[in-house]
Amino acid sequence: MKPADVKEKLRLSELFSFGGATGPLIGLLLLCVFLSFATDSFLSVRNFLNIMDQITVLGIIAVGMTFVILIGGIDLSVGSVLALSMMVLGYLNVHVDLPMALAIPGALLISAITGAIAGILIAYFKVPPFIATLAMMSIARGLANMITNGSQIIGFPAWFNMAAIIRYGGYLTITVGIMLTVFLLAWLFQRYRQGGRMLYAVGGNPEVARLAGIHVKRVTVLVYTVCATLAGLAGILLAARLDAVQPSIGVAYELDAIAAVVIGGTSLSGGTGGIGGTLVGVLIIGVLRNGLNLLSVSPFVQSVIIGLVIVVAVAAETFKRPAR
Amino acid sequence: MKPADVKEKLRLSELFSFGGATGPLIGLLLLCVFLSFATDSFLSVRNFLNIMDQITVLGIIAVGMTFVILIGGIDLSVGSVLALSMMVLGYLNVHVDLPMALAIPGALLISAITGAIAGILIAYFKVPPFIATLAMMSIARGLANMITNGSQIIGFPAWFNMAAIIRYGGYLTITVGIMLTVFLLAWLFQRYRQGGRMLYAVGGNPEVARLAGIHVKRVTVLVYTVCATLAGLAGILLAARLDAVQPSIGVAYELDAIAAVVIGGTSLSGGTGGIGGTLVGVLIIGVLRNGLNLLSVSPFVQSVIIGLVIVVAVAAETFKRPAR
Amino acid sequence: AQETGIGKIGLAVPNLQADFFNQIKLGVENYAAALGIEVITVDARGDTATQVSQVQDLITQGIDAFIYIPAGAAAATVPTRLARQAGIPVINVDREPEGEPGDTFIAGESVMSAYEVCAHIIALAGGEGKMAIIHGQRGTTPEVLRFEGCKQAIDENPGVELVTQQWSEMWSPDEGFQIAQNMLQAHPDLRLIFGQADGLAMGASQAVEVAGLRDQVIIGGYDGDIAALEYLARCEGAFVVTATQSTQAMGVLAVNSAIAAHHGASIPARQIPNAVLTTCENAQEFVENHP
Amino acid sequence: MTPHAKQPILTLRNIHKSYGPIKVLHGIDFDLHAGEVVALLGENGAGKSTLSNIISGTVLPSAGKMTWQGAAYAPSSPREAIDAGVGMIHQELMLLPHLSIAENVFVGRYPTRYGAVGRTEMERRAKQGLLRLGLDVSPRRLVDGLSTASQQLIEIAKALTLDAKMLILDEPTAALGGEETKLLFQQIARLKAEGVGIIYISHRLEEIKQIADRIVVMRDGAKVREFDTADLPVRTIVESMVGRSMEQMFPPLAVPDEQTVLEVRDLAGASRTFSGVSFSVRKGEIFGISGLVGAGRTELVRAIAGADPITHGSILLNGEDITPRSPGDAIRKGIVLVPEDRKLQGVILDHSIQENIGYSNFDSVGWGGWISSRRLRDFATENIRKFGIKGRGRQKAGQMSGGNQQKVVIAKWLARRPRVVLLDEPTRGIDVGARSSIYEIIHELASQGVAVIVVSSDLEEVLGVSNRVLVMAAGRQTGILDHSEANDVSVMELATA
Ligand SMILES: Nc1ncnc2c1ncn2[C@@H]1O[C@H](COP(=O)(O)OP(=O)(O)OP(=O)(O)O)[C@@H](O)[C@H]1O
Ligand SMILES: Nc1ncnc2c1ncn2[C@@H]1O[C@H](COP(=O)(O)OP(=O)(O)OP(=O)(O)O)[C@@H](O)[C@H]1O
Ligand SMILES: [Mg+2]
Ligand SMILES: [Mg+2]
């Protein structure tokens, strides 16, 4: 191969920030090919649109999680924050009778505050991210439950549910559109904005980043705030999809999101990876769940298969790297 | 203060490996004092014995988790492995009709194998611990469910349940005795055996440990195996306590165990902390749960309070350390 | 499949970890298998959003009828709407979505059965004493209705004093154990415990054993889980009564309703298979042959 | 003594090592005899550490054979090498900060009694080892917070207590001052007398003359020269290392402007690591800071660069008080720091060279907060060329030799065109060739009117590059010497004052 070729290849894969995710991308394609042959119903526009619907919530959470993991952190609270955001939305819109135009910002604000608190604990009080967000997970869940004493809320305006159901132009629901927009913005940010590059520096080595004049603490607080806000946004889209809110929702979503990010090639130690890979990771999880359902695999066996896929996807990366 | 005093003091706190856990120890005492005044029923031998009963499972899991965290790892699979161990025990004893003397080793063996697999993935395939054990969590849960297609098993021999019920000498059930033994052995190991000291070296910096001639990979596999085996043991004790097994048990136990270890002063980045602190951490969580129930606090508020306590316990450590 | 004219039934359950749903699943599957109908079961693992995704996938697979047990009432309406759009009949079991009823709703009558359980244990205690309730997951329909029923029994007996109640998250035995242990600690003279599910009741009975209060405390449960029935059939221990839901019958009823709805036959909007009060006497027959 | 008459204890034949497509060693032959000290010399990236790592079982060779004491030798892990009697001090500090000094010394080979780790015994022996190197600290103290030099001494003590039959010392003196070095050499002489074979790697050629029996010179992964004696003119050694003739090491000093750029007034740092420091640096001046290890120099320059809090005093730039509160603050004012520990503070090892350069130069590679990949690449390429870095923009910093990493750190800061440059140990672990190019860069900077501050433990270096030298002792400023009055004696006098 000529050197010029090498260069071009490198640049293409880099452009999409698939970084370590070319392996997973191949895995995703193989999975799709397999499912197309194994089932009648997988390969259809309708099923593809269903999958897009199904990954909306996970996708948006995973974007925020990518940023958190890029700076070397982790956020276990996203599932609970999502539930809290939903309950606040329901409370404001249905119980207090505020219009959605106020209820939605309200829910996002509460989510952002939980993230900011976690970020402050991590950056300024040196609480390890795992612990700070674990505590926030417990707190946000408790608060979500306290709003209605554990009951659900229904009675949103009709258009709200329609946003998740009507496929404009036959293809795009508003919720899927929002997810795609979030991915696009996050990708542009990560790739072309100073702020995005800073995340890599902070994750790579916070001390080097600090000495390079980056406000590491401020970046940390902002990233957790953004992650929580996105979890809140995901909650609002989920509320639209379910046309109801309940405080017990979103348990263990953080684990799915983390798995998606890591399958997508972002390293848990921070500093490498990116949004492109996360998209692949989210799709792998979404397609796998969908495919296993279409194959009528028993739910217990599904649990085993998903575990195996996570391990294989991540372990496969080891073989690609040159041995030491 | 005379220098000699300083020396003695250092050695005492060091002896119990309370290391960073003197703060939490004070917290525990304050908590007990508060509950003694706030409720009639807290301060009694019987309630103390109840608390011991209630922390048996968490305590044993937390011992294994301490070792894992000491070497800089994490194990999310303990809750699922506990369930798997219980189901294997029930299957072997009740369905296959093996005596307990074979069923118990069988259950422990299966648990050990899950741990060894996770350890091998982590040490040899460079899968991050979070991901390897997350996958194992999903796999073990699936397997636990597959054994009986999701149903529970009852029908253990009568003496088995008695081990968790009869308080010998009026105080000690066999299960609590086992937990105390596990703590004692772990403490001796961690403090006086070469193997125990090696954990600190591996957790402090695996490359340094490797260059010093420690088989880092072997240590890693062993530690995860021990952790899973202890989770399996905890499962057996839980089976004795409930006199029944079911595959849905143990969800989120890992989070409790991790919280207990970290509250006890063991750092999630590895290399510092120890069993003494973990005992304090487990007691804090046990006493807190017990106390909140005795105070009839709503579960939603409990969830908020426990989150706050975790944060405060860990953040408090920051203030003790000199700022740099 | 010839005689029934139906090929595939989709079954969405909230959580197979709960024996109750597992029993319904077995009821549906066994009966359908006998009729040569394929059943595709999906388990939402307690998550309503997952359930909506799974229902989409069921519809993609071209099911002819949809047996739907909502995972928490919140997901309720959307799957029904999706199925309706696709022209698939919806059979609700155990829980009914508010505002979007299916073609029929099959569920036991919770309030009355809970009343019977509580009345039974109160009678055993001589109509008086301190009582505790271990609730299920707070806010869920069964939790609310079972409490309502039990409360009626308590209110009819002025000698009974409800001294403490706690809620569990997962309806599970280990929670039941822990909660009951603490209740006994705070109220050593407790006479009665109502566990809103058999898991909770079994856990509570263990706690009573540990405290050595088997002769003092009387426990009631709910659901008729296999393990609980086996326990009751032994006729020893503090846990003495449960309301066995006719889960197998529900499964059969659901499949028959699905076939009828598929053919456009009219079916009643509400079908109520009775829960049977189960004690030491009749437990053994239910172990062998679950209703 | 005629070591050559005997059989060598270690032989290497045709050793190769490659990392993927990159060949690092090609066909090295090497012998070591009992009781001799062989100096292994070569430029940064010549392959000295790699070769040592192969001998100590840290990395596996791609091809080649080794024998040890007459038998075939192919250690697959450091454990095997240690068990065979081969010990090594690695170039990078390998200590566990959260453990006590004693545990660090005996990590992996704790003395045991009745199966239990014998703490008292361990502490006693550790103390012994440390005292031999002149380090008087309690072996129970945690390593965390010790100065780099003390840590280096612990690292050496670790190797000395091994009772190895052969020792590899990879740049043991890089962080040491003159006194510590002297004690180390006494220990090496003792080991030599006991018949231990020693491979000694260093970039300080004056040391080599003092202790080596033979010299082996490597260049680009191959052995290029062997000298049977160390008693050679430095010039000869240097020329064989770089493969060309060298001019003078230190370029001639220029006379700085009268205008004061940086003024430090009565500065004190947190936890009193230094206090009462006042000086001023003129435009185009090179200002050296000298002192014994632990004198507080690093803390001082970090404080000036905003990296550590200042508790008292002020810093003025062109007469304006700009006492910085954060590194970002200082950088915006034009004060940059090339830190002491490049691996932990200088570069992100996992990221490419161009990313590393980009992090400090966002303004130059984009506009309005946006980044242009093309501008980033071009900017990096330009600076890689300008500072003579051996590497491509996409290469990860961690894959480069130490010297080139150091150049990346220097490049990323100088590309900002700062007004004040603080260099903390700029040539630590850097070969003569690269070193002289760094000196050239320093002089070039000064001639452009930048105020340069150089902290160094290498006395020759401070004296060679500085217009004036500030000397510190135990956190205090003990004097400022002009170039004309500064020499070994006057500086050492102040440093020990
Ligand atoms: N893991 C690696 N992958 C690729 N190349 C490597 C790796 N490690 C080292 N190298 C390369 O091997 C060469 C030799 O490195 P080595 O560290 O042995 O040099 P050295 O002579 O010790 O230099 P220095 O004097 O700077 O310590 C360098 O060019 C370096 O870039
Ligand atoms: N994090 C810390 N905690 C406590 N003491 C410290 C810490 N860092 C440095 N010190 C101490 O501060 C003093 C000054 O250290 P500094 O690194 O500034 O000295 P130096 O003159 O630059 O020496 P070196 O050559 O070791 O870099 C030393 O005694 C050191 O032990
Ligand atoms: Mg080297
Ligand atoms: Mg220094």
For the stretch B281-302, pLDDT in tens is 999 999 998 898 888 888 789 8
Q: Which residue is closest to C72 within chain A, CA to CA?
A: A246
- Give me A197's structure tokens: 């590059």
The proportion of chain D whose per-residue pLDDT surpasses 70, expressed as a percent, equals: 98
Q: Which of B169-173, C170-174, D168-172 has the highest mean pLDDT?
A: D168-172
Q: How many CB atoms lie within 10 A of CB D329?
A: 15
Which chain D residues are within 8 Å of B197, Cβ to Cβ?
A: 103, 107, 110, 117
Nearest of C165, C218, C174 to residue C200 by alpha carbon: C174
- Residue D495: per-residue pLDDT: 83
- How confident is residue C75, by pLDDT bands cut at 50, 70 and 90? low
Q: Where are the domains of chain A?
A: 21-264+274-320
The proportion of chain B whose per-residue pLDDT surpasses 90, expressed as a percent, equals: 59
Distance CA A138, CA A77 (A): 8
- How confident is residue D244, by pLDDT bands cut at 50, 70 and 90? low
pLDDT single digits (tens) A177-235: 999 999 999 999 998 899 999 999 999 999 999 999 999 999 999 999 999 999 999 99
Mean pLDDT rounded to a whole number for chain A? 89
- Which ligand is located closest to the Cα atom of residue D289? 2
Q: C43-52, C130-139, D51-60 — which is least confidently predicted?
A: C43-52
Question: Under an 8 Å CB criterion, which residues of A touch D?
Answer: 10, 191-198, 200-201, 204-205, 207-215, 271-272, 322, 324
Q: Considering only CA atoms, which residue is closest to atom 19 of ligand 1?
A: D45
Do D369 and A197 count as a contact with CB atoms less than 8 A apart? no
- Residue A134: per-residue pLDDT: 95
Q: B80-89, C270-279, D425-434 — which is least confidently predicted?
A: D425-434
Say whether pLDDT at A9 is over 70. Answer: no
Greater pLDDT, D114 or C87 = C87
pLDDT single digits (tens) A264-274: 989 888 998 99
- Residue B318: per-residue pLDDT: 66
SS3 content of chain C, % helix, strand, coil (to 5): 45, 20, 35
Say whether pLDDT at B4 is over 70. Answer: no
Touch test D–C: 3 Cβ pairs or more under 8 Å: no
Phi and psi, residue D93, nearest 5°: -70, 135
- Residue B82: per-residue pLDDT: 97
- Residue A3: per-residue pLDDT: 40
- Residue B9: per-residue pLDDT: 43
Q: Which of D80-89, D114-123, D242-251 has the highest mean pLDDT?
A: D80-89
Which chain D residues are within 8 Å of A322, Cβ to Cβ?
A: 19-20
Say whether pLDDT at C148 is over 70. Answer: yes
The proportion of chain A whose per-residue pLDDT surpasses 90, expressed as a percent, equals: 67
- How confident is residue B33, by pLDDT bands cut at 50, 70 and 90? very high
Average pLDDT of span D243-263: 79
- Are the C-beta atoms of C231 and B154 separated by less than 8 Å? yes
Distance CA A108, CA A222 (A): 14
Greater pLDDT, C63 or D2 = C63
Q: Does domain A21-264+274-320 have CATH number 1.10.3470?
A: yes
C-beta D294 within 6 A of ligand 2: yes
Nearest atom in ligand 2 to the alpha carbon of residue D274 is 14
- Give me C110's structure tokens: 């919770």
Average pLDDT of span C53-61: 88
- Give me B115's structure tokens: 């741990």
Among candidates C179, C183, C206 on the partner chain, residue whose Cβ is nearest the Cβ of B243: C206
- Residue A56: per-residue pLDDT: 95
Q: Which residue is closest to B301 within chain C, CA to CA?
A: C167
Among candidates A150, A267, A303 on the partner chain, residue whose Cβ is nearest the Cβ of B138: A303
The proportion of chain D whose per-residue pLDDT surpasses 90, expressed as a percent, equals: 39
Q: How many Å from the N-terminal Cα to the C-terminal Cα in chain D?
A: 42
Please tell me the distance in Å from A179's CA to the nearest CA on chain D. 23
Best of B48, B94, B146, B242 to mutate (most C CBs within 10 Å, chain C): B242
Mean pLDDT rounded to a whole number for chain D? 87
Say whether pLDDT at A7 is over 60. Answer: no
C-beta D97 within 6 A of ligand 2: no
- Residue C73: per-residue pLDDT: 53
pLDDT single digits (tens) B118-137: 999 999 998 999 999 999 99
Which chain B residues are within 8 Å of D112, Cβ to Cβ?
A: 194
- Residue D270: per-residue pLDDT: 82
C-beta D203 within 6 A of ligand 2: no
Distance CA A258, CA A64 (A): 10
- Residue D134: per-residue pLDDT: 81
C-beta D433 within 6 A of ligand 1: no
Stated pTM of the model: 0.87
Average pLDDT of span A20-31: 83
Which chain B residues are within 8 Å of A150, Cβ to Cβ?
A: 300
pLDDT single digits (tens) B203-257: 998 988 998 889 999 999 999 999 999 999 999 999 998 888 988 888 889 999 9
- How confident is residue B117, by pLDDT bands cut at 50, 70 and 90? very high
Nearest of C66, C84, C72 to residue C28 by alpha carbon: C66
Q: How many CB atoms lie within 10 A of CB C279?
A: 15
Distance CA B284, CA B265 (A): 12
> How many angstroms separate the alpha carbon of residue D356 from the centre of ligand 4?
23
Contacts 24+ apart (CB under 8 A), D108-116: D108/B198, D108/B201, D108/B209, D108/B212, D108/B213, D108/B214, D108/D79, D108/D82, D109/B212, D109/B213, D109/D82, D110/B194, D110/B197, D112/B194, D115/B192, D115/B193, D116/B192, D116/B193
- Give me C34's structure tokens: 């006998």
Say whether pLDDT at A8 is over 60. Answer: no
> How many angstroms separate the alpha carbon of residue D211 from the centre of ligand 1?
25
Distance CA A206, CA A284 (A): 31
C-beta D402 within 6 A of ligand 1: yes
Q: How many CB atoms lie within 10 A of CB B36?
A: 14
Q: A40-44, A106-110, D278-282 — which is least confidently predicted?
A: A40-44
Torsion of CA A121, A122, A125, A128, to 10 degrees: 120
Do C225 and B152 count as a contact with CB atoms less than 8 A apart? yes
Average pLDDT of span A51-71: 96
Average pLDDT of span D331-360: 90
Q: Considering only CA atoms, which residue is closest to atom 29 of ligand 1?
A: D45
- Residue B7: per-residue pLDDT: 41
Say whether pLDDT at D184 is over 70. Answer: yes
- Residue D108: per-residue pLDDT: 81
Among candidates C174, C199, C202 on the partner chain, residue whose Cβ is nearest the Cβ of B238: C174
The DSSP letter of residue C224 is: -
